[in-house]
Amino acid sequence: MTRAIAVERTANRKTGPVSVTHATQATCPATCPLLKSGCYAEQGVQGIHTSRLNRAAGRADRRELAREEARAIDQLSGKRPLRLRVVGDAATTSAARTLARAVDRYQLRSGAPVWTYTHAWRDVPREAWGATSVLASVESIGDAKRALNRGYAPAIVVSRFGSDRAAVVDGVRVIPCPAQARDDIRCTDCRLCWNADALQARRAAIAFEAHGSGAPKARAAVKRAEG
């Protein structure tokens, strides 16, 4: 059974027409506070795909799972922006480097941007991701600052948007995700997450509002992280 899949063109309204990959949650770090407790990838139609990938994983080694996803990426045309791991993560430096090499091959085909998010930012150095635009998934401003100091731009989950405007919180510029805050913008219009290093240089974070059927659990995780 397949443990990682690549889709040439997603029909997702929020992202717009991009390529995507999905991997089993066996690739995720056990420390992720949203794993089995508010992860959006466990909800709705996406949850069906996630469950299928999880069942296929068994006791597979994370290195082999990363190599399987890399092979799936190699089958894509490279003509579209690539959202890496709608579900899944790279919990080890070795896994991140395997995916980074696949991203290099992907971008050689036409130079399309590749972006993703990781909860493993405490353990995996930013440089392991190479040319991938990668944001650290966090649930508090304190962790956002720690991620920035490790070279990552943060993507912070918030309970609710107070506004669709950016605000500076304890020295971090927090930008509500335009594709989530507004109905007329998609990832292919916004593109902020496509250059995470520029966000990091500005000490800026992208905020994502907890949503869907798992929102109550995600909000609880945010409250725990905030102390």
212: its two tokens:
């869907």
Q: For residue range 117-134, what is the model confidence (pLDDT) as tens digits? A: 999 999 999 999 999 999
Q: pTM score, two decimals?
A: 0.92
What whole-number distance in Å separates Cα of residue 84 and Cα of residue 21?
Answer: 5
With bands split at pLDDT 50, 70 and 90, how would you rate the model's confidence at 39? confident
Classify residue 218 as exposed, middle or buried by CB count within 10 Å of its CB (0-12, 13-18, 19+): buried
Tell me if 76 sits within 8 A of 82, measured CB to CB.
Answer: yes
State the Cα angle at 184 between 10 and 186, rounded to 5°: 35
Q: Where are the beta strands (DSSP E) in 94-212?
A: 114-118, 133-138, 153-158, 167-169, 172-176, 204-209
Interval 72-101 mean pLDDT: 97
65: its two tokens:
């799972």
What's residue 17's pLDDT?
96
User: 164: Cβ–Cβ under 8 A, 6 or more apart, which residues?
Assistant: 176, 178, 181, 182
What's residue 213's pLDDT?
58
Name the 3-class secondary structure at 82: strand
Q: What is the mean pLDDT of the chain?
A: 92
Strand partners, 172: 169
Strand partners, 207: 156, 176
User: Structurally, how many domains does the chain consist of?
Assistant: 1
Question: Which residue is listed with tokens 């992202």?
Answer: 15
Name the 3-class secondary structure at 213: coil
What whole-number distance in Å separates Cα of residue 161 and Cα of residue 94?
Answer: 36
What whole-number distance in Å separates Cα of residue 62 and Cα of residue 36?
Answer: 19
Tell me if 83 sits within 8 A of 22, measured CB to CB.
Answer: no
What's residue 218's pLDDT?
65
What's residue 38's pLDDT?
72
Q: Where are the beta strands (DSSP E) in 8-48?
A: 19-23
DSSP letters for 104-130: HHHHHHH---EEEEES-TTTS-GGGGT
Number of CB atoms found within 10 A of residue 54's CB: 16
What whole-number distance in Å separates Cα of residue 89 and Cα of residue 84?
Answer: 9
* Domain hosting residue 22, numbered range: 4-226
